Amino acid sequence: MKKNNNIETQVIHAGYNPLEHSGSLTPPLFQTSTFSFPTAEEGESRFAGESEGHIYSRFGNPTIAILEERMAALENGAAALAFTSGMAAVSATLFHLTKSNDHILCSDGIYGCTFGLLQLLKQKYEIDHDLINMDDEETLRKAIRAETAVIYVETPINPTMKLVDLEMIVKVAKEHGIRVVVDNTFCSPYLQQPLTLGCDYVVHSATKYIGGHGDVIAGIVVGADKEEMAEMAASVRKDIGGIISPFDAWLLIRGLKTLAVRLDRHCDNAKKIAETLKAHPKVGKMFYPGDEEFPQYQLAQKQMRRSGGMISFEVKGTKEEAQAILNRVQLIKLAVSLGDTETLIQHPASMTHAGISKDEREKMGISDTLIRLSVGLEAWEDIWADLKQALDGIK
């Protein structure tokens, strides 16, 4: 198959040839823990890394390999590794790239459990970090230390939707030999390809847009360098574990086939909802990259194919009023997670980012009245009708 097909084609075909699998149109599910060796000598040579072939599903599995090859193609990377959760992917990447006394520089907003992982790395392994505003090149340069090994960013940042200019980060990082890791969960490779811009690693919570149906917890790492990825597979993933299960990999392969059509619909719906939501008298600040008044609208236009399916907004009122809105929705589901077919709503301060102190949350821009909406695939008019009745219902 042509290597440089469009992404809409790659999500369906990359990494799989039915003729290599008895003509099965759908990739087969190798639901097995282990693989039998034809001879003891062959077993020895597989363990020694001298011959190809599977050994044990914690090291790799043919179904998982199809998913990994597809994800590597979609992100324009050299290789991918699939994990049992997004956090397993993030932690494996940071364990792979850092050692004691190193320093990680982060965007000034990250998912609550990633923040928790950074605390753990600091307290137990003496790997320090700083969260900084990466809007400005000078601020970034000043924050770099001799020990800085990794720049870790989310863009858009969960849940404030702030963007980080990846081209600028790459330029500065390359001057210092620092690795750039991007959490691309909010965009998926359909909307943004950080490796194409020169970043070194992409991590995903594949639970979200990659799977797309709210039925899998999974994570993916894609790297630009084949050897580094092989090293990561042979060390942190093999010895810490955390590989995805074959069935979950199969579900992700299935979900990926519709990534492009789903994302287009998520983006269309979010745009309609954002336009209408912005005019509601109970809505304060809105954070949506597709809004022309969004401070980083130009950057969004440059860096992202479209504006995505996520919208955050502040309610004019109190935390209790924000919670009252969540209690009033009916069609929209009150749940964390995102990128599902269903529209989901949640309260970051008390849910996804509850593990971060109020002080730190406020520095990140997460107020108690902030609500995060993952716009689903339903008719936008129905989503809006539900949201409107919930907003209208508060005094």
Among 343, 352, 367, 369, binds ligand MET (CB under 6 A): 352
Question: Can residue 30 be called a binding residue for ligand MET (CB under 6 A)?
Answer: no
> Catalytic residue among 16, 111, 152, 288, which?
111
CB of 211 to ligand MET, least distance (A): 12
Question: Can residue 364 be called a binding residue for ligand MET (CB under 6 A)?
Answer: no
The one-letter code for the residue type at 387 is: L
183 is catalytic: yes
CB of 352 to ligand MET, least distance (A): 4
Question: Can residue 336 be called a binding residue for ligand MET (CB under 6 A)?
Answer: yes
Question: Can residue 349 be called a binding residue for ligand MET (CB under 6 A)?
Answer: no
Closer CB to ligand MET, 92 or 338, in the complex: 338
Question: Can residue 111 be called a binding residue for ligand MET (CB under 6 A)?
Answer: yes
CB of 21 to ligand MET, least distance (A): 34
Size of the site for ligand MET (CB under 6 A): 7
CA-based max dimension of the chain: 75
Q: Using an 8 Å Cβ cutoff, are 195 and 322 in contact?
A: no
CA distances from 308 to 31, 78, 190, 216 (A): 34, 26, 10, 21
CA gap 184, 364 in Å, rounded = 19
Question: Can residue 326 be called a binding residue for ligand MET (CB under 6 A)?
Answer: no
257 is catalytic: no
The one-letter code for the residue type at 168 is: M
Q: Exposed, middle or buried by CB within 10 Å (0-12, 13-18, 19+), for 97?
A: buried
Q: Which of 270, 264, 350 is nearest to 312 (CA)?
A: 270
Among 338, 345, 349, 366, binds ligand MET (CB under 6 A): 338
88-96, 167-175, 238-246, 333-341 -> range binding ligand MET (CB under 6 A): 333-341
Question: Can residue 345 be called a binding residue for ligand MET (CB under 6 A)?
Answer: no
For residue 318, how many other CB atoms are within 10 A of its CB?
12
> Catalytic residue among 102, 128, 165, 183, which?
183
CB of 335 to ligand MET, least distance (A): 8
DSSP 8-state code for residue 214: S
Q: Using an 8 Å Cβ cutoff, are 138 and 113 in contact?
A: no
Question: Can residue 158 be called a binding residue for ligand MET (CB under 6 A)?
Answer: yes
Question: Can residue 155 be called a binding residue for ligand MET (CB under 6 A)?
Answer: no
179 is catalytic: no
For 67, residues 6+ apart whose C-beta sits below 8 A from its C-beta are 15, 80, 82, 220, 244, 249, 250, 252, 253, 256
208 is catalytic: yes
Scan for tokens 């363990």, then name that residue: 47
CA distances from 113 to 103, 117, 308, 351 (A): 18, 6, 22, 11
Residues 187-216 that bind ligand MET (CB under 6 A): 205
Q: Using an 8 Å Cβ cutoff, are 15 and 77 in contact?
A: no
Question: Can residue 12 be called a binding residue for ligand MET (CB under 6 A)?
Answer: no
Closer CB to ligand MET, 32 or 337, in the complex: 337
Question: Can residue 276 be called a binding residue for ligand MET (CB under 6 A)?
Answer: no
The catalytic site residues sit at 58, 111, 183, 208
> Which residues contribute to the site for ligand MET (CB under 6 A)?
111, 158, 205, 336-338, 352
